[in-house]
Structure 1
């Protein structure tokens, strides 16, 4: 099962201060909108999301169908197939994706230590 591109989604108090900090670490804005409270930042080896006022906890995020530059990957494992496989494996699904649909969808699982993991398919 291919989970897709990985990023760490960070909850920030002030997105501009966080942006400046991560830019000093070598990250550059890749996507997002400060006015909406979110930015995707890239370094040569990783991707992080900065989110102000959107989520309660930091979380891992997987984007099925994308590589780390938001380029399409084909073939890929659809988010609904990932959800079904995890459910069959006994993992509780939070905010499940509609399994009858196609295209963009998302769902979340919580690891044994309470860490949220978002599976967020954009295509």
Structure 2
């Protein structure tokens, strides 16, 4: 099962301080909008998202259809197919993608320790 590009979405208290901190660690802004309190940052193949006031907890994030540079892949497994497969495996889906839709969608699950996992397709 190919889940797409992986990143960790961090719930931060002050996005400007967090941005400066991660820049000191060698991360560079890959995308996002500081004015909207979210940024995607990258160091080598490591991608993190900084989100102020959007999530309660840190989230493991997968993006079907993207590589680690947020570039579109020619071929990928659609999010609705991933969701269907996980349901068939008995994984509890917390928020579901509309299986009758096409294009952008997302769903969330939790691992056995309660860590949230977001699968978020942008195209």
Question: What TM-score bracket applies, with the shorter chain setting the length?
Answer: over 0.9
**What is the SS of the residue equivalent to 1:17?**
helix
Aligned residues: 123
Aligned residues of 2:93 and 2:109 also touching (Cα < 8 A): yes
- Correspondence for 2:87: 87
2:21 corresponding residue in structure 1: 21
Structure 1 equivalent of residue 47 of structure 2? 47
Question: What aligned pairs does 1:1-123 form with structure 2 within 5 A after superposition?
Answer: 1-123=1-123
Q: Matches of 2:39 and 2:72 in 1, distance apart?
A: 20
- Deviation string for 1:1-39 (max 9, x for gaps)? 210000000010000000000000000011011111100
TM-score, length-scaled by structure 1? 0.98
Distance 2:35 2:74 in 1: 33
CA contact (8 A) 2:63 2:121 kept: yes
Q: Which runs of 4+ in 1 moved over 3 A?
A: none
**SS of corresponding position for 1:109:** strand
- State how far apart, in whole Å, the 2-side matches of 1:122 and 1:82 are: 14
Residue 96 of structure 1 aligns to a residue whose secondary structure is: coil
Structure 2 SS opposite 1:35? helix
Provide the alpha-carbon RMSD of the alignment.
Answer: 0.6
